[in-house]
Amino acid sequence: MNDKAIFNALGKILVLLAFTMLVPLFVALYYREPLEPFLVSTLVTFLAGLILARINENADWQQKEALAIVALSWLAAAIFGAIPFLFEGISFLDAVFETMSGFTSTGSTILVNIESYSRSLLFWRSFTQWLGGMGIIVLFIAILPKLGVAGRQLFRAEAPGPTEDKLKPRIKDTAKILWALYVLISALEVLALMLAGISLYDSLTHTFACMACGGFSSYGAGIEAFGSPLIEFILTFFMFAAGANFALYYRAVRIDKNLLFRDEEFRAYASFLLGFTGLLTLVLYKDMGLSLFNSIRYASFQITSVMTATGFASVDFNRWKDSAKVLVLAVMFIGGCAGSTGGGMKVVRFLLMLKYARRELFKFIHPKVVRPIRFNGRAVSDDVLQSILSFVVIYISVFVFSSMLLTLLGVELISSITASITTLGNIGPGFNLFGPMENFESLLPLGKIILITNMWIGRLELYTVLVLFTSDFWHS
């Protein structure tokens, strides 16, 4: 293990993080709020990064170093990003919970009376989601020159999906394209929200959370605070856009616009959303007596928000009947597309698992027939299928284990289950104690540590973090 290479890369990432802290500093200056939280945070983070970056890298990175750099970078971002919260009386553990939720674009919060906090802090809170949405490491690769093979290893370790989606031979160019698309679509959303009648500040903070599939709002009531169907439909559209594969957008624009609709994952993603939205609309209209318009409005927003792991809420679905809540719970396990900012297990994994199950049923009837599994016209290798199977097993195991631990800590069962899946899937709100209008502030410290770990593991697709806890990783 090349420790110096790890420290050197961590230092450079912290220096980059320090510069991002200057953005909320200007917000504080504009609103005449105290500058000290962000001046101190920037200085501390920059100095820590500078010290680590001075450690010379004396060997090429290997896969193990790349995994350690990615996992530890996200942890370091949460720790140093928490410093501004300390100036507003928030404990260190709660601050780390909030920033881990921010950078991993989870959206679970410990804040009570959100409007009581400074605008600059709430801006930083949403900005952490935007930075983490496309990926801290992807931004690092796009900015830092001459990474070469090492950059590809980092990209693969952070990529949201079973395989990396490379657009250009040089991984640095791929990172630049992805961030350019991300910034462009974000700018379009800011413009759309402003045209819908909300302020630049609210447009920015909610765009940051929406495009990252994060879900933080500067209002305690969330999107319900606006009381505007138009704003909800705008956010629904952009949540849908953020939950699809950004690399697919690029190919559709540059190569063939029909690629978007020929892609199996995108079609399945849209089908899942439409199907569950239709079912929930029916339940809200028939079982709960809502008007048809409000049934469509609330169903489309909540299903899109939860399935893409955004976590916005335009209504307190914690008060819905069980027939409606079970549909919301179901989409918590699906997630967005690979290569998106969405969380969860990803649609492509569900699709390939269904194809795998179908093939096994076919083989049971015709044991001697060889029938490969195809995705977008190409045969899927057994290595990829085995990786997906192991991912699903580990994902469910982590979910069950963390649910069990929370229950043993005295948390009610449904609250434990939904808290585990919403943090592991980077979704945000759950049910009962942790509904969309509630928070995680009442959890015991150990419970918060469990959920912080869940967010960290879930955002980096399990393996990148879990390998750090194996003896083979450090001693082989």
Q: Could you tell me what percent of the chain has a pLDDT over 90? A: 53
pLDDT score recorded for residue 168:
64
Q: Is the pLDDT of residue 148 over 80?
A: no
Q: Is the pLDDT of residue 296 over 90?
A: yes
Residue of 135 and 337 predicted with greater confidence: 337
Residue 67 falls inside a structural domain? yes
pLDDT score recorded for residue 141:
66
Measured CA to CA, the distance from residue 241 to residue 246 in angstroms comes to 9
Interval 236-264 mean pLDDT: 88
Residue 91 falls inside a structural domain? yes
Predicted confidence band of residue 185 (pLDDT cuts 50, 70, 90): very high
Measured CA to CA, the distance from residue 470 to residue 305 in angstroms comes to 35
Residue of 57 and 292 predicted with greater confidence: 292
Range of the domain at 178: 3-236
Q: Is the pLDDT of residue 95 over 60?
A: yes
Residue of 303 and 255 predicted with greater confidence: 303
Q: Is the pLDDT of residue 149 over 50?
A: no
Residue 475 falls inside a structural domain? no
pLDDT score recorded for residue 80:
96
Interval 39-68 mean pLDDT: 83
pLDDT score recorded for residue 160:
56
Interval 202-229 mean pLDDT: 92
Residue 44 falls inside a structural domain? yes
Residue 117 falls inside a structural domain? yes
Question: Per residue in 450-467, pLDDT tens?
Answer: 999 999 999 888 888 888
Residue 330 falls inside a structural domain? no
Residue 447 falls inside a structural domain? no
pLDDT score recorded for residue 359:
85
Closest CA to 309 of 450, 178, 416, 422: 422
Interval 240-256 mean pLDDT: 87
Interval 234-259 mean pLDDT: 89
pLDDT score recorded for residue 183:
92
Measured in residues, the chain has a length of 476
Measured CA to CA, the distance from residue 138 to residue 151 in angstroms comes to 9
| pTM reported for the whole predicted model | 0.91
Neighbour-count burial of 470, counting CB atoms closer than 10 A to its CB (0-12 exposed, 13-18 middle, 19+ buried): exposed
Interval 388-417 mean pLDDT: 93
Q: Is the pLDDT of residue 439 over 50?
A: yes
Q: Is the pLDDT of residue 279 over 80?
A: yes
Residue 412 falls inside a structural domain? no
DSSP at 370 = -
Question: Per residue in 339-397, pLDDT tens?
Answer: 888 888 889 888 888 888 888 888 888 887 778 888 888 888 888 888 888 989 999 99
How many domains does the chain divide into? 1
Sign of the Cα torsion 158, 161, 163, 165 reads: negative
Interval 281-301 mean pLDDT: 94
| 316 touches 302 (CB < 8 A) | no
Q: Is the pLDDT of residue 98 over 80?
A: yes
Of the listed ranges 150-164, 237-251, 376-390, the one predicted with least confidence: 150-164
Predicted confidence band of residue 18 (pLDDT cuts 50, 70, 90): very high
User: Between the CA of residue 61 and those of 148, 153, 154, 343, 476, what are the distances in Å?
Assistant: 10, 8, 9, 28, 16
pLDDT score recorded for residue 324:
93
Question: Per residue in 111-143, pLDDT tens?
Answer: 989 999 999 999 999 999 999 888 766 766 665
pLDDT score recorded for residue 154:
56
Calculate ∠ Cα 10-214-14, nearest 5°. 15
What's the chain's average pLDDT? 88
Interval 239-247 mean pLDDT: 91
